[in-house]
Amino acid sequence: MANHARTVLDIHVNNHPGVMAHVTGLFSRRAFNVEAILCLPVEDSTTSRIWLLVNEDGRLDQMMRQMRKLQDVYEVNAIAEYTKVFSDLASVMSTESNQVVTE
């Protein structure tokens, strides 16, 4: 498997049913793979932040422009420095998974 440069899309959205489906649907319709997803409510649960780990490619800027057009999306930023968060989370999950197997 080839190593690709990765980045994290930090997406500020309304927090209600269907928003995640709209955002990820953009990726699905364009055959753009999402490697990892993290979503948490913020601001008294009226909005959420979605972080998507994606491979950088020539379509990323266009994807970001399309996301900004969605009614429930307030802001979209690409932040390469956030990729470590997903690596750390994967490490924790892997360690916990191994502990469950050995117990």
- Domain at 6-102, CATH from 2.70.210.12, 1.10.10.60, 3.40.50.2300, 3.30.70.260: 3.30.70.260
Q: Residue 34: which pLDDT band, with cuts at 50, 70 and 90?
A: very high
Question: How far apart are alpha carbons 49 and 10 in whole angstroms?
Answer: 7
In DSSP terms, 51 is beta-bridged to 10, 38
Domain boundaries, the chain: 6-102
The whole-number pLDDT of residue 1 equals 41
- Residue in the structure block whose two tokens are 């379509």: 59
- Which own/partner contact pairs does 17-22 have at CB distance under 8 Å and 24+ positions apart? 19/48, 19/72, 20/50, 22/70, 22/72
The whole-number pLDDT of residue 87 equals 74
- The predicted-structure confidence for 52-89, as pLDDT tens digits, reads as follows 999 988 999 999 999 999 999 999 999 988 777 777 77
From the CB of residue 34, how many other CB atoms can be counted at a distance below 10 Å? 14
Residues 72 and 16: beta-carbon distance below 8 Å:
yes
